[in-house]
Every structure is written in C-alpha cells, then in structure tokens.
Amino acid sequence: MNVKETLAALKALGCKARYDRDWSEYRVTLPNLSPEREEAIAYYTSDPEDAIDTGAAMVRIEAEIEA
C-alpha cells in the first residue's frame, strides 16, 4: 500500500492523518480536537498497516466513549 492509499484509507475511517517524508512516518489522530488533545493522542508509525489498524481502533474507542 502506498502513502496516498494509506492516507485515503485513514480519511475514510474518519481519522486525521499526514505523512512526513523527512521521517517516513504517518501521524494518525482524530479530527475536531483541540491542538493539545490532538497531539496527546497522536500516533506515529512508519508502517502503513499499523497506521490503518491504529486509526480504526481510535475511531472505535472514540465511538464507545461517546455512546
């Protein structure tokens, strides 16, 4: 899976994500949070599958908390 596909998959899940080419890392977090909260839960990884799995877990846990 390439960077573009990974970022698209994360967006489809409802995550906010970016890829840093200098560090070859994905940054995954949730949207609509304060900058401090966003950074507190941000997850960094160089593995695309790990980024997607973590994004899915973040969304699932957030939904459970809000329910």
pLDDT tens digits along 48-60: 999 999 999 999 9
pLDDT, tens only, 10-67 = 999 999 999 999 999 999 999 999 999 999 999 999 999 999 999 999 999 999 988 7
For residue 25, give the nearest of 54, 57, 61, 58 by alpha carbon: 54
pLDDT at 1: 87
Domain ranges for the chain, please list them.
3-66
pLDDT at 66: 82
Alpha helices in 1-67 (DSSP H): 3-13, 35-41, 48-66
Is 17 within 8 Å of 26 (Cβ atoms)?
Answer: yes
What is the DSSP-derived secondary structure letter of residue 42? Answer: -
